[in-house]
Chains A and B, each alone.
Chain A
Amino acid sequence: MFPLREDFLRVLPELVFCAGGTLLMFLQPFVRSRQAFSSLALLASAAATLSAGFAALTPGTAFGGLIRADGFSFFFHLLIGLVVFLVVLGSSSYLERERLAPAEFYALVLFAAAGMGVLASAQELLTAFIGLEMSSISSYILAGYRRDAIKSSESAMKYFLLGSFATAFFLYGIALVYGKTGTTVLTQMGSADVSDTVLKLGLALILVGLGFKVAAAPFQVWTPDVYEGAPTPVTALFSAGPKAAAFALLLRIFVMVPAATQLWFWAFWLLAVLTMFTGNLGALVQSNVKRMLAYSSIAHAGYLLVAFAARSEIGVAAILFYLLAYALAKLGAFTVVGHLGGGGEKHLDLEDYAGLAQRQPFAAAALSVFLLSLLGLPVTAGFFGKFYIFKAALHSHLIWLAVLMGLNSVIGAYYYLRLIVVMYMREPREEAACAPFPAAVSMVLTICVLGTLYFGLFPNHVISFALSPGLFGR
């Protein structure tokens, strides 16, 4: 069957991402100007974000049921588009400082984004696998993009080895599920027999594979090293993009396959508790800011898993909102860290932030907003994110899970506040000459701060969209 016009419209964002990436690779030998590459990449990500609107205007399945364009995929395309746009905007000065080639970098980011887009709209497991591979392989290269830095290479190596292992789990899981149900299309698995051991095993393996991608404990061991070693704009991308996409796929499987919903409940419960504690306790003892943020993103994966354990529409909506709030805060935080790191990313220690409020008031204020959002204080988006997760958990009578999450928030408060203490309550050690923030970076921070505050005051639109019954196009 030849694909129809609608089919292409429904994958338009991915097409635009790929076209942008290909064009960048093609132009690389001919163009010298860094400016041109970053402009092109910005244009591509903006166009892809817009084209998500076109895809949403023609909802339905494409390519014989492999892809589905609906409100859910629309949300994730917007989120991924925003993340990529901000990462591209914030990384041009970084690339220049570290003397890294821009064209390939942007191309890889765009390819990774295309993969994430596929993950968000896949309705069939093999298509999802392709999306996962697209985003993962680009990510492996991006993690090692600072070739002369040993940490960056270590990061890429670890990510690649453990990542391929996880992908294998995922693929094996698909094979088992297919062997049992005879299909890889999610909608057709609805009537699968839950008690079957092969199916159980298959679903468990899929969970393990995706658990790795979202950095859920006990599959999180790679996260701190990879996040720390990767170039900071890439870390920003990792923490916001692929994680959101993997959660999107997990959600889709969760919503469409009732067997999974029943089987995974206790798995999610346990994963959530383990992940929260691992992340928060790990972050407590870090003195490297980048590493601390890496552990904190493990903790946040744990909070999101709490919403999964709630198994309800409110839980789904909470996850969508949380991912948005989290992406804004983490992107902003990593952007500040990337800039303050200085040449070769040397200044990542907590002590390097001493007295930042007096040296760079804007950066300190912005970073504080992001940290407070991650901590979940009111008037930031992170607060509503936590609030909706609490609501989902309590709605499903998961009182102890909610209490454990509350305790974890308090542990989290300690290390987020510690950074704020250092920035605001210590005197600068020496006049650490820190370059002023370039306009593009300041713009990224402004967007993230305004977004965090806006959604912290008016979460209405996003949450009512996420709660709308037509989210999954049914």
Chain B
Amino acid sequence: MAGGHLLTILTFLPALGALGLLLLRGEDQEWIRRLALAVSVAEFGLSLLLIPAVPLGSAGYHLEEFRAWIASPPIHYHLGVDGISLFLVILTTFLTPISILASWKSIQHRVKEFFVMLLLLEVGVVGVFLSLDLFLFFLFWEVMLLPMYFLIGIWGHERRIYAAVKFVLYTMAGSILMLVGIVWLYTITGTFDLPAIQKMLQAGLVVLSPRAELLLFAAFFLAFAIKVPLFPLHTWLPDAHVEAPTAGSVILAGVLLKMGTYGMIRFCLPLFPDASRRAAPLVAALAIIGIIYGALVALVQPNLKKLVAYSSVSHLGFVVLGIFAFNTISMQGAVYQMLNHGISTGALFLLVGMLYDRRHTFEIAEYGGLATPMPRLAAFFLFAALSSLGLPLLNGFVGEYLILLGTYQRHWNWAVWAALGVILSACYLLWSYQRVFFGEVTHGKNRELPDASAREKWILAAMAVVILWMGIGSPMFTQRFAASCQNVLDQMQRNQAQEAAAPPAPGISNAPVAASVPGAPHISVERLGNR
């Protein structure tokens, strides 16, 4: 097989880099930063090799690696990449060097440990996206907790310890239940291997009782919902975001939250389709509440970083809604929105971090008129904000549009409520932008603030290019994961077809087969009107 161990290399290269960092002396801070950057850039380069490995229109897993690890119970080291995980991995490897660059100057204390933690975090996240064995998945899922915990707890702001402990306890509460669910699923199916379990369920070799399926779904879903975070489990997020250092926030918003939505797509839907369908109205309701609630809270935030954090709650609500509308278009929109949110919100956190580096405050009231001393930073901020609020031609628009379109086809009322979030996001982002950057400079301290440095300009330019590219060239991305999204839905349908042969289980809404047009994102607006 070509590129036999690419995925293993991709997963563990940052760990090797972390080991290399440990060998350096703590005083060689410049070399530590350079090595960390070199490793993460190499990792990014390697991850681009995945793109040709996932052919267009293929739904299955590629570059699979399969090796026995533990004999009893049979646990395998099973990695693989498909269209959905492909871009999430690349997003991770892209944001890691960006956050290393972003912390070049702002981290001066225990530098070595900081970059070691950042690279270990990358190991965990990439591992989560590539694992095809439930056990291995859980392993990476848990392992990634620790670096994040230290990143928030050591290099965070004033209430960092509270935020770090809250973050870990929330996540652990969910993940322990997921572990129980995973082991339970194992006792039923006899394997931890995800593709094998899927085959068994589809072939009807294993039939879950409705109660068992619902409990299993709940065990998995809770862990993912906490991570996303879905309203009302979101309360850890503002604390963690506000207290985390900039790099931590970027990775947290950029990729960690996606682990939750990724888990829903990868595990909840294909493994427990009936339970997913039964839970869908509730999940959608929570997602819509999250969209609106997050936006409203963001609207009244005096703290700029908290504002961006709450906007995440709102945006991730869209993703969950798109997933649980069970429609190819909305599903593709959800995956796309996961990537968009990583880039746009990542950029916003970077910018907020840059403001903090200059003024050491997140209070909007402390700013005002910043466009005068720092026009470049202001321009980049506007660009990122517009992308986040979904301006056409920028990336955020594509994702939100697809989600709303797909959802509308199935449940028009869901889409109507969710669309409120789009309006509100324009309100809170533009209003806060106005208060921070426009008008007169009200604080004397702000008058002499330096504009973006060369390093900052490069970081922001890279983000801006991606934002624009994803806004214009969306088919380049969507066509690679369209088949995988369709596959997830097909698996749900096939399971239902079997149910139909058997006496139908009560309480399951009879979902019509989704319109599955290949290359669905190009669906025209007339179609929306025709309905």
Which of A's residues lie within 8 Å of B, judged by CB? 372, 377-379, 383, 387, 390-391, 394-395, 399, 402-403, 406-407, 409-410, 413-414, 417-418, 421, 424-425, 458-460, 463-464, 467
Contact = CB atoms under 8 A, between A and B. Distances in A.
A464 B72 contact: yes
Contact of A378 (B142, B165, B169, B177): B142
A306 to B, nearest CB: 12
A407 B179 CA distance: 12
Contacts of A459: 70
Interface of B: 70-73, 138-139, 142-143, 145-146, 149-150, 153-154, 160-161, 164-165, 168-169, 172-173, 176-177, 179-180, 183-184, 186-187, 215
Contacts of B187: 391, 394-395
B179 A387 contact: yes
A424 B154 CA distance: 7
Contact of B176 (A372, A394, A399, A406): A406
B150 A424 contact: yes
Given A394-B183, A424-B150, 13 more contacts: A379-B139, A383-B142, A387-B179, A391-B187, A395-B187, A399-B180, A402-B184, A406-B180, A409-B172, A410-B169, A410-B173, A417-B168, A424-B153
Given A379-B143, A407-B176, A409-B176, A399 B169 contact: no
19 contacts: A377-B146, A378-B139, A378-B143, A379-B143, A394-B180, A394-B187, A402-B180, A403-B177, A406-B179, A407-B176, A409-B172, A421-B164, A421-B165, A424-B150, A458-B70, A459-B70, A460-B70, A460-B72, A463-B72
6 residue pairs, one from A and one from B, having the closest CB atoms: A406-B176, A378-B139, A425-B153, A390-B183, A394-B184, A410-B173
B164 A425 contact: yes
A324 to B, nearest CB: 16
Nearest to B138: A378
Contact of A387 (B165, B172, B183): B183
A372 B72 CA distance: 23
Nearest to A389: B183
Contacts of B143: 377-379
B118 to A, nearest CB: 16
Nearest to B145: A377
A406 B176 CA distance: 5
A391 B177 contact: no
A206 B173 CA distance: 36
Contacts of A414: 165, 169
Contacts, number: 79
A46 B142 CA distance: 37
B180 A425 contact: no
Contacts of B164: 421, 425
Contact of A413 (B70, B138, B139, B172): B172
A457 to B, nearest CB: 9
B149 A391 contact: no
Contacts of B72: 460, 463-464, 467
Contacts of B177: 403, 406
A123 B368 CA distance: 81
Contact of A377 (B142, B161, B215): B142
Among B138, B145, B146, chain A packs the most CB atoms within 10 A around the CB of B146
A410 B180 CA distance: 13
A418 B149 CA distance: 12
B165 A417 contact: yes
A394 B188 CA distance: 10
Contacts of B73: 391
A409 B169 CA distance: 10
A414 B154 CA distance: 17
Contacts of B161: 421, 425
Among A399, A414, A425, A463, chain B packs the most CB atoms within 10 A around the CB of A425
Nearest to B135: A387
Contacts of A399: 180, 184, 215
A413 B168 contact: yes
B180 A464 contact: no
Nearest to A372: B146
Nearest to B73: A391
Contacts of A410: 169, 172-173, 176
A21 B138 CA distance: 47
B259 to A, nearest CB: 15
Contacts of A372: 146
B153 A391 contact: no
Contacts of A403: 177, 180
Nearest to A421: B161
Nearest to A403: B180
Contacts of A458: 70
A424 B150 CA distance: 8
Contacts of B71: 460, 464
A421 B172 contact: no
B154 A425 contact: yes
A299 to B, nearest CB: 14
Contact of B165 (A394, A402, A418, A460): A418
A425 B160 contact: yes
Contacts of A409: 172, 176
A379 B138 CA distance: 11
A388 to B, nearest CB: 9
B182 to A, nearest CB: 9
A462 B53 CA distance: 39
Contacts of A425: 153-154, 160-161, 164
B173 to A, nearest CB: 5
A241 to B, nearest CB: 27
Contact of B180 (A377, A390, A421): A390
A377 B154 CA distance: 20
A417 B149 contact: yes
A395 B168 CA distance: 28
Contact of B153 (A378, A413, A421, A464): A421
A351 B164 CA distance: 19
B509 to A, nearest CB: 27
Contacts of A417: 149, 165, 168-169
A417 B153 CA distance: 11
A409 B160 CA distance: 23
A377 B153 CA distance: 18
Nearest to A399: B184
Contacts of B154: 424-425
A413 B161 CA distance: 14
A464 B165 CA distance: 36
Nearest to A412: B172
Contacts of B172: 409-410, 413
B451 to A, nearest CB: 34
Contacts of B180: 390, 394, 399, 402-403, 406
Nearest to B170: A410
A418 B172 CA distance: 15
Nearest to B165: A417
Contacts of A377: 142-143, 145-146
Contacts of B145: 377
A379 B141 CA distance: 12
A403 B161 CA distance: 28
A412 to B, nearest CB: 9
A394 to B, nearest CB: 5
Contacts of A390: 179-180, 183
Contacts of A394: 180, 183-184, 186-187
A416 to B, nearest CB: 10
Among B138, B143, B161, chain A packs the most CB atoms within 10 A around the CB of B161
Contacts of A391: 73, 183, 186-187
A415 to B, nearest CB: 11
A275 B30 CA distance: 52
A29 B530 CA distance: 102
Contacts of B153: 421, 424-425
